Structure 1
Amino acid sequence: MPNYYLVACGTSESNYPEIYPHLERVPNDLSCINNILTSQFGYTRVLECLSLNPSAALIKKEFAKWLISGECTAEDCIVFYYSGHGEYLLGDQHCLILKETDPAIVGSTSLPTDELIRPLQNPGVTLSQILFIIDTCYSGEGAGDITQYA
């Protein structure tokens, strides 16, 4: 029988609030998605260390480590939810805007959305079903990036 897992994270604050204003709803968005999926659909929340204002390095490292931990199997299902600012770098890619994202060097300080799928290719990952929900501006571009990469 498959297990159902939820990774829910988001960024509500920025070191550059004049460019990326505070998003008061992000904590509520995370709480709502958690409550709905865990109480009504049997999901288990994992990686709570990523919940609010995680760094790009933390997201990439902890998600990759969890995927190879043996906790999830090929039969399991994951929902990966992210809420926050997003930006499309013209001619390049969609990026998740994190607390430390510098608007002068967005491409170097944000998290490219397609980086979320890279950990799935690590040796030892058996997962075959994942749904990414990207709740940001320009998220359609991010979905395209993930699909193109996958």
Structure 2
Amino acid sequence: MAAGYSMVGSAEVAVKFTKTRAGYAFAVYVDGNWNGIRSADIANGVDRLLSGPERLTDNFRETDFGTLNGLPPVDAGVPAPGNDPIRLGVSDMATFTAKGTSSAGSIYIRSRRTQYVIRIFGTTGKTRLLKFDARSHEWRPV
């Protein structure tokens, strides 16, 4: 949704993840002053809320942002996710531009037995979904 809106609306759009007592919530914001999505602008109402906040568990029972214990890195030379399921830098935001680019990072989603990661590639704005195969201890494309 965010990537599509940014291209149609010609403005940057971001999905901001916020850690709460109950887990992670996410909301979608649009840039209101053409300087990019910034946490201060969100707090001041300059970058306005498009949708949310909501949680994955609101729509998908027993599925949430998270990591199973002992996950290996998705790529060689990259740190393992540890207990941080939102790997989007300090701001915990995935930003999408009208040019089709985005911020890069990874978002880990899990259920009781299954682990996925959504990889976001900055230059192209493309995403890739991988599933962790516990038997082979490898990440595989879905």
TM over 0.5, yes or no? no
TM-score for the superposition, normalised by structure 2? 0.26
Greater strand fraction, Structure 1 or Structure 2: 2
Higher normalized contact order (CA 8 Å, seq sep 6+, divided by chain length):
1
Q: TM-score, normalised by structure 1?
A: 0.25
